[in-house]
Chain A
Amino acid sequence: MSAAEKLQLHTDTAQPLFSVRDLTRLYGPEKGCQGVSFDLYPGEVLGIVGESGSGKSTLLSLLSGRCPPDRGTVSYRDTTGNWVDLYSASEAQRRTLLRTEWGFVEQSPRDGLRMGVSAGANIGERLMAQGVRHYGELRAAGIDWLQQVEIDPLRIDDLPRTFSGGMQQRLQIARNLVSSPRLIFMDEPTGGLDVSVQARLLDLLRGLVRELDLAVVIVTHDLAVARLLADRLMVMRRSHVVEAGLTDQILDDPQHPYSQLLVSSVLQP
């Protein structure tokens, strides 16, 4: 690596990739989320934990451009180094971002996959949207990504409906990662899976996040998943972030009464 490249890399990781200020959307008193601010750096994994109804999913929708906030800003530093204000950008700009530099892994693969087309076509969709038309290239990307997410490449022409739940979830991840995104949102990605399948998916995600230096915002109610994947956590309760910090510190030495309750309520198997 040349000195110039090193410098470039250094300045890239020394600056946030994603910056959120006073993000608020309320559906009722303490319903939704309010006053959320944070910076996310390249390669950093932020976990959002809290009970059902605490505002985790609302926050994720606001962060990922799916729902405009009442107030506050979401800014993203794109590959050219320019900051884009998500909700003042044009619809076209926002959609391009969502399809290329960002990814979203839904809790249910049914919501994140096209169930009526083959696995290969699911993986190729983002590339086609970026203008890749060459069949051989799309096919090669499909095979490569099936292998990366540990699915037999011979299944490339099969419909996702014929896949198990764990395989569908892995296919959804491949479909998102094929465009080399820099920021991925995940909503309970291991939620509906058996424990044995969960372990495999978590291991895969851990490896991919490190290898590709992805920044990730992951919503989960499973503290073990949070410990395994997240560098830092935000604990949400009744629309507020009540505590934020290093993952193992929050889980082993929680400060806020609610975080203490949350951590002490987990059953040890």
Chain B
Amino acid sequence: MNTLIEVSGLSKTFTLHQQHGVVLNVLSGLSFSVRAGECLVLHGQSGAGKSTLLRTLYGNYLAAGGSIRVLHNGAWVDLVGAEPRQVLAVRRQTLGYVSQFLRVIPRVSTLDVVMEPALARGWSKSDAEARAKSLLSRLNIPQALWQLAPGTFSGGEQQRVNIARGFMVAWPLMLLDEPTASLDDANRQVVLELIAEAKAAGSALIGIFHDRAAREAVADRYLDMSQDMSAAAQQEYVYVG
């Protein structure tokens, strides 16, 4: 199957100018690629840089070196050094990101929050609404809440609204930052189904799952990010199944 993302020699450092200029080398010389229909799970203890890697891939953190090439509308784009508008175009069409945390905008209803990625791609309002409603139902968000802004919802409800938003449109490439964390069994199962559907539809996924059962359910390969691994060893994949 075809490769959708190719990361090569990626490094990320943080220079804390306000804290005596401390330099943290979080990622260095990281290389991997992911193909359509495949899920790469990032593995390593807390602090190994898993979330940092996802945020760097999304362009939220600025890479210090290397390249992140993604297949966007049939052409390869290197996100390292890309113009903001190129990154935004890739985020609109190609690269999705689902975290546990919803960024709430005052006054914007749950339904509108979920529909937004589809409307940004030019879906009709009725198509977007139908898809959003079916996702919210599947994720067990009571219908009475759909017209309300999610600011006052419980943490679990906000998380599920965010997941509905993340799966609203099909992404060729998806980054998942612990989407199943702290969900009850029924809802975790729904999220795992959504992930399986995305894979079956040909998405390439890169994710973090602390929950062992979830990890084993979705992973095709692991990328070991433990800090005692040498840079060379980090480039080897562990195959499962």
Interface residues of chain A, those whose CB is within 8 Å of chain B, are 41, 44, 199-200, 202-203, 206, 210, 228, 231-232, 245-249, 252-253, 255-257, 260-261, 264
Bound-state CA distance A228–B106 (Å) is 10
Q: Which residues of B contact A247 (CB under 8 A)?
A: 84
B131 interfacial by beta-carbon distance below 8 Å: no
B61, A249: Cβ atoms under 8 Å?
A: yes
Interface residues of chain B, those whose CB is within 8 Å of chain A, are 14-18, 55, 59-62, 84-85, 87-88, 105-108, 120
Q: Which residues of A contact B59 (CB under 8 A)?
A: 246, 249
Q: Which residues of A contact B15 (CB under 8 A)?
A: 255
Instruction: Tell me, rounded to whole Å, the shortest Cβ–Cβ distance linking B127 to chain A.
Output: 18
Q: Which residues of B contact A246 (CB under 8 A)?
A: 59, 84, 87-88
Bound-state CA distance A232–B86 (Å) is 12
A257, B17: Cβ atoms under 8 Å?
A: yes
B17, A260: Cβ atoms under 8 Å?
A: yes
Q: Which residues of A contact B85 (CB under 8 A)?
A: 41, 44, 231-232
Count A-B contacts at CB 8 Å.
Answer: 50
Bound-state CA distance A202–B59 (Å) is 25
Which of B17, B88, B105, B120 is within 8 Å of A228, CB to CB?
A: B105
Which of A202, A253, A261, A264 is within 8 Å of B60, CB to CB?
A: A253
Bound-state CA distance A29–B102 (Å) is 44
B84, A260: Cβ atoms under 8 Å?
A: no
Q: Which residue of A lies closest to B120 (CB)?
A: A210
Bound-state CA distance A231–B86 (Å) is 11
Q: Which residue of B lies closest to A228 (CB)?
A: B105
Q: Which residues of B contact A252 (CB under 8 A)?
A: 55, 60-61
What are 30 A-B residue pairs whose CB atoms fall within 8 Å in the complex? Answer: A44-B85, A199-B106, A199-B107, A200-B107, A202-B106, A203-B106, A203-B107, A203-B108, A206-B105, A210-B120, A228-B105, A232-B85, A245-B62, A245-B84, A246-B84, A246-B88, A249-B61, A252-B60, A252-B61, A253-B14, A253-B55, A253-B61, A253-B62, A255-B62, A257-B17, A257-B18, A260-B16, A260-B17, A260-B18, A261-B17
A232, B107: Cβ atoms under 8 Å?
A: no
With A202-B106, A261-B18 given, can you name 11 additional A-B contacts, CB distance below 8 Å?
A203-B107, A231-B85, A246-B59, A247-B84, A249-B60, A252-B55, A253-B55, A256-B17, A257-B18, A260-B16, A261-B17
Q: Which residues of A contact B105 (CB under 8 A)?
A: 203, 206, 228
B60, A248: Cβ atoms under 8 Å?
A: yes
Bound-state CA distance A93–B62 (Å) is 42
A264, B18: Cβ atoms under 8 Å?
A: yes
Q: Which residue of B lies closest to A244 (CB)?
A: B84
Bound-state CA distance A210–B107 (Å) is 17
Instruction: Tell me, rounded to whole Å, the shortest Cβ–Cβ distance linking B24 to chain A.
Output: 12
Bound-state CA distance A256–B61 (Å) is 14
